[in-house]
Chain A
């Protein structure tokens, strides 16, 4: 598991004077932008002047989308968890006990 953090600002790729954004440059900078964090993808927005703005899909989903499309691998993992739900771990149980003692939830 990589421990690098994603940049918080979007990656903006502006076209050159001929209105081009090179694929090599785009891929290289996208790799740098991700910094080794294993996520499925980036959401791309293309403006009228050809500027490409890339943001982690998770950022876009938090603001706009109400659906998460699962890859086959993700769907298989979710299916396994539904069939064989993991028990609450010690950290969760301990936090629940602390919540019971300290929180007035309204």
Chain B
């Protein structure tokens, strides 16, 4: 499968997109454009070259930081100074008729690559994802993302040279 992944554009037929997850579909149909215009998130859309207006999947990226202001002093000393910035993959969805082709993994790699490229310009410590449910969390764990022990629907991957070499 050859794919193009680029920024959300007016030409994308967003209303045709259906992942089967109502919250992800509704956001993409109704809010993704505004979210991108207001620079809350960037939205990236996968299409096939032969059908460049038909979204097969999307993900959104946002700036984010993790806070640990209540952590014990001994633990705080081990962590970088706050604020500790990360890139957030806020949403990632694949159209139902594009399932089973590994598109989710390609979208995740594309998101991670963009996050890593950005971190070369503005330092960040990793990538955090919001998993919509336990199945989504399982998807991210498959690719090596680690769940926070007390909040298993938030998962993270830290930025390292090895990850850079693998992805960039």
Contacts and interface: CB of A to CB of B under 8 A. Distances in A.
Given A88-B166, A102-B1, A58 B72 contact: no
Interface string B115-156: 000000000011010111111001000111010111111101
Q: Size band of the A side of the interface?
A: 35 or more
B158 A58 contact: no
Nearest to A69: B67
Interface of A: 1-6, 8, 37-40, 56-59, 61-62, 66-79, 81-83, 85-89, 91-93, 95-96, 98-99, 102-106
Given A39-B152, A73-B150, A83-B78, A105 B167 contact: no
Chain B interface helix/strand/loop/mixed: mixed
A38 B70 CA distance: 21
Nearest to B41: A62
B144 A75 contact: no
B102 A95 contact: yes
B68 A70 contact: yes
A87 B4 contact: no
Nearest to B105: A95
Contacts of A75: 68, 71, 75, 79
Contact of A93 (B6, B132, B166): B166
